[in-house]
Amino acid sequence: MKKILVINGPNLNLIGIREPKVYGRLKFEEYFNELKSKFQDFELEFYQSNVEGELIDKLHQVGFDYEGIVFNAGAYAHTSVAIGDAIAAIESPVIEVHISNVYAREEYRHVSMMAKNCKGVISGFGLNSYELAIRAIIG
């Protein structure tokens, strides 16, 4: 079965608890179970880390075999040249995802260090952003 990895970066382990007005009240694990039941023809995996190097290690690990990677790098999307480089280094397509509409927020969130190395960017559709990104991978 073809594999797709969903990666959440820093602070996204607190989805459902953290700033619910921005990120909603649903825990990511619950949403991810819904996603898995919607895409049963694919093996959907999930990884979360608050550590930049661990996110990069994970990209290296899966980035030559997987069908695609849905990546919410949180604030690292705006700051991490190293994550941008890791995405350029691998072969699997990466979709940059944000739950909130980063362009409707502070100016420092309008910048992405990863976008140019991604297949595309989906931002502002709540948790549904992840489903849209999976659909973009599977076509």
Q: Does 109 bind ligand DQA (CB under 6 A)?
A: yes
DSSP state of 57: H
Q: Does 117 bind ligand DQA (CB under 6 A)?
A: no
| Of 89, 2, 11, residue with least CA distance to 48 | 11
Helix (H, G, I), strand (E, B) or coil at 10: coil
- Residues classed as catalytic: 23, 98
Rounded (10°) CA dihedral 100, 83, 51, 127: 20
Binding flags for ligand DQA, 54-83, as an x/- string (CB under 6 A): ------------------x-xx-x------
11-30: contacts with ligand DQA (CB under 6 A): 11
Residue ranges binding ligand DQA (CB under 6 A): 11, 72, 74-75, 77, 98-100, 102, 109
